[in-house]
Amino acid sequence: MELKKILIIEDEDYISDLLSYSLKKEGFNTKIAPNGERGLDLIDEFKPDLLILDLMLPDINGFEICKKVSREYTIPVVMITAKSDTFDKILGIELGADDYITKPFDIREVIVRIKAIFRRISLTSESKENESFEEVKVGEDIIIYKEKREVLKENSRIELTNKEYDLLLFLAENKERVFSRSALLDKVWGFEFVGDTRTVDIHVQRLRKKLDENKSTSIIETVFGVGYKLR
């Protein structure tokens, strides 16, 4: 079986070497990019299954790379930051990162989180193999094409990050059911995710902007004191 490939974009040699060495011991195939420009090149050359991305790079801001990867690829991103600032963490998740790790970190925790992401992807893939190709209608003019992970509104594609898509699909498959923010974190991000419930609020706000343009009410309804549901 082909090894899972992990690209590490990190400018501090001792950190990238530690990550690469430890991940190889766990059976992963790794490559290192010392800056953002080389990292973007390697995404196309190496075709990684997961990206470990440092926030502070010498040439390109890690947020910009995360935004580009989330927009153009379906690669999960684990962001590494030297800052413990909650704003940076939330912004990273908002731009499409699947998880974040704060320096200094325990390499064992990094490995556990990466394995958890691959486990969720594997479970999702198995579920897709067992289901027929399907469309899910949202409201009057939005259709989710599950086999393509694509969302169309009035026949125009809506650009969503991986987690925006996952959240919308989950709510669409459970119409009129109310979910708390904690329940959505568990169902969409997975119980291993260490973020807080503001992550859900941010993704709902972004989905509303993309789905409800020119509408007076949102298809994602806030149930005050509880959470959210899709009408």
Q: Which residues of the chain have pLDDT under 70?
A: 1, 83-91, 93-94, 123-133, 191-195, 213-216
CA neighbor of 187 nearest in space, from 150, 177, 71: 177
Question: Looking at residue 128, what is its pLDDT?
Answer: 52
Distances in Å between the Cα of 190 and the Cα atoms of 25, 92, 120, 184, 230 are: 25, 17, 8, 9, 20
CA neighbor of 91 nearest in space, from 211, 206, 8, 175: 206
Q: Are residues 41 and 113 in the same domain?
A: yes
Question: Looking at residue 48, what is its pLDDT?
Answer: 95
Residues 6+ apart with CB under 8 A from 139: 211, 219, 231
Distances in Å between the Cα of 154 and the Cα atoms of 43, 122, 123, 139 are: 32, 32, 31, 11
Q: Are residues 182 and 219 in the same domain?
A: yes
Number of folded domains in the chain?
Answer: 2
Q: Are residues 140 and 50 in the same domain?
A: no
Q: Are residues 44 and 109 in the same domain?
A: yes
Q: Are residues 49 and 140 in the same domain?
A: no
Q: Are residues 28 and 108 in the same domain?
A: yes
Please say which residue of 85, 111, 128 terminates a domain: 128
Question: Looking at residue 211, what is its pLDDT?
Answer: 85
Question: Looking at residue 199, what is its pLDDT?
Answer: 82
Q: Are residues 119 and 166 in the same domain?
A: no
Please say which residue of 100, 128, 156 terminates a domain: 128
The label of the residue with tokens 């910009």 reads: 64
Question: Looking at residue 88, what is its pLDDT?
Answer: 64
Angstrom distance (rounded) from CA 138 to CA 36 = 38
Length of the chain: 231
CATH of the domain at 114: 3.40.50.2300
3-state secondary structure of 97: coil
Q: Are residues 120 and 36 in the same domain?
A: yes
Angstrom distance (rounded) from CA 64 to CA 54 = 11
Please say which residue of 108, 128, 148 terminates a domain: 128
Q: Are strands 50-54 and 77-81 parallel, antiparallel or unpaired?
A: parallel
Q: Are residues 140 and 115 in the same domain?
A: no
Question: Looking at residue 47, what is its pLDDT?
Answer: 93
Question: Looking at residue 193, what is its pLDDT?
Answer: 62
Q: Are residues 60 and 156 in the same domain?
A: no
Question: Looking at residue 148, what is its pLDDT?
Answer: 79
Structure tokens at 11: 């400018």
Q: What are phi and psi of 65, to 5 degrees?
A: -65, -45
Q: Are residues 76 and 35 in the same domain?
A: yes
Half-sphere exposure of 160 toward its Cβ, with a 13 Å CA cutoff? Answer: 28
Q: Are residues 17 and 121 in the same domain?
A: yes
Question: Looking at residue 15, what is its pLDDT?
Answer: 93
CB atoms within 10 A of CB 211: 22
Question: Looking at residue 214, what is its pLDDT?
Answer: 61
Question: Looking at residue 81, what is its pLDDT?
Answer: 82
* DSSP per position, 100-150: EEESS--HHHHHHHHHHHHHHHHHHHHHHHTS---EEEETTTEEEEGGGTE
Question: Looking at residue 79, what is its pLDDT?
Answer: 87
Provide the residue range defining the domain that includes 168: 132-230
